[in-house]
Amino acid sequence: MDHPPLRPRACLRFRGSTGPVRESLAPARPPPYTPPTFDNRSATIDNAPVFTGIIHKTATVTAVAPIPAGRRLTLTAPAADHVLGESIAVNGVCLTVAAILPDRTLAFDVIPETLDKTNLGALAPGEAVHVERSLRVGDPVDGHFVQGHVDGTAPLVHHTATGHEWRLRLRAPAHLAKYLVPKGSVAIDGVSLTLAAVDDDHFEVALIPTTLQLTLLGKKQAGYRFNLECDQTAKTIISYLERIQPQADHPS
C-alpha cells in the first residue's frame, strides 16, 4: 500500500509554553522572494562589450601621437563619469580608455592592425568622431547589436538629397559584399542603419533627419572611407554555410 509523501513541518514553541517543543502540521514557509537586481555592468556577447549603433554624441580629436604599440588617440570626453578601462566605440571601433588626462580628455592606444583596417589612422587633431559607450544591462537596444569589430572600410561613391530623403551610396570591399542583404543591418562609422538597396558590391543607406542632425554622415564628401561592420548574424550564417558546403558537395 502506497503512502502519501510526508509534508515538511515546522517546529514551533507556543507562546507561554514551558513544556517540550510541539510540532505544527503546517508546511514550512519558504523564504520571502527577493527579485533580482542589476547593476551598471556592461552587457556582453561572448564576454566582449557590445554597442547598439545609436549615436547621440560626437567627440573632437585633441591629439594624435605615435607610441611603440601603434598610435595614441586623445579625444574630448563625451561624459563626466568615464573610468579607466572602459570600452567606447570611436567611429564604430571598440577601443579601451587607456588614460584619463588631467584636462579630462580620454586617451586610447590603437594598434597597427586597427589603424590599417579602419579610418582611425587618418584622423587628425580637430576632427570630430562618433562616440558610443558600451551597452549596459537595462539599456534599450534601439539599433542592432554592434560589436565594434570593423570589417573594413567602404568609400562614399556619392550622396543624393531629395525632398523626401537623403541617401548615401557606398562601395564595399569585394569580400564583404556577400554579407550585405537588402533590408538588413549595417554599421557605418558606428551608426546602425538599414540597407535600402544592394547592387553587387555597392549599397545604399537612407538617412532620416534625426540621423543627419545627430551624426556626421551627411557631412562627408565623395571618397571618404567609412568604417564598415557587417551584421553579425549574416556573417555567422554565411560563414557556417560556406564551411559545410564542401561536405554537401562531396558527401562521405
The least confident of 42-46, 47-51, 129-133 is 42-46
In this structure, are strands 106-110 and 70-75 parallel, antiparallel, or unpaired?
Answer: antiparallel
Q: What pLDDT digit, counting tens, does each position of 67-82 carry? A: 999 999 999 999 889 9
CB 229 within 8 A of CB 151: yes
**Domain end (from 106, 133, 160):** 133
CB 179 within 8 A of CB 234: yes
Number of structural domains found in the chain: 2
Query: Do both 117 and 167 map to the same domain?
Result: no
Q: What is the 3-state secondary structure (H, E, C) of 178-240?
A: HHCCCCCEEEECCEEEEEEEEECCEEEEEECHHHHHHCCHHHCCCCCEEEEEECHHHHHHHHH
C-alpha cell of residue 209? 533627419
Higher pLDDT, 135 or 41: 135
pLDDT at 4 (0 to 100) = 56
Q: Which of 227, 170, 174 is nearest to 195 (CA)?
A: 170
Please state, rounded to an integer, the average pLDDT across all residues of the chain: 84
pLDDT at 103 (0 to 100) = 93
Query: Do both 63 and 120 map to the same domain?
Result: yes
The values of phi and psi at residue 188, to 5°, are -120, 125
For residue 158, what are the domain limits?
152-238
Q: Whole-prediction pTM value?
A: 0.76
**Single-letter code of the amino acid located at 157:** V
With respect to residue 22, please indicate whether it lies within any of the assigned structural domains.
Answer: no
With respect to residue 215, please indicate whether it lies within any of the assigned structural domains.
Answer: yes
C-alpha cell of residue 80? 563626466
pLDDT at 247 (0 to 100) = 59
With respect to residue 173, please indicate whether it lies within any of the assigned structural domains.
Answer: yes
What CATH number has the domain bearing residue 118? 2.40.30.20
The values of phi and psi at residue 244, to 5°, are -90, -10
Cβ-count burial of 206 within 10 angstroms (0-12 exposed, 13-18 middle, 19+ buried)?
Answer: middle
Number of other residues whose CB lies within 10 A of the CB of residue 143: 20
Quote the CA–CA distance of 30 and 8 in Å, as a whole number.
11
Query: Do both 175 and 230 map to the same domain?
Result: yes
pLDDT at 34 (0 to 100) = 52
With respect to residue 14, please indicate whether it lies within any of the assigned structural domains.
Answer: no
Number of other residues whose CB lies within 10 A of the CB of residue 100: 15
Query: Do both 65 and 124 map to the same domain?
Result: yes
pLDDT at 26 (0 to 100) = 52
With respect to residue 140, please indicate whether it lies within any of the assigned structural domains.
Answer: no
With respect to residue 25, please indicate whether it lies within any of the assigned structural domains.
Answer: no
Query: Do both 159 and 119 map to the same domain?
Result: no
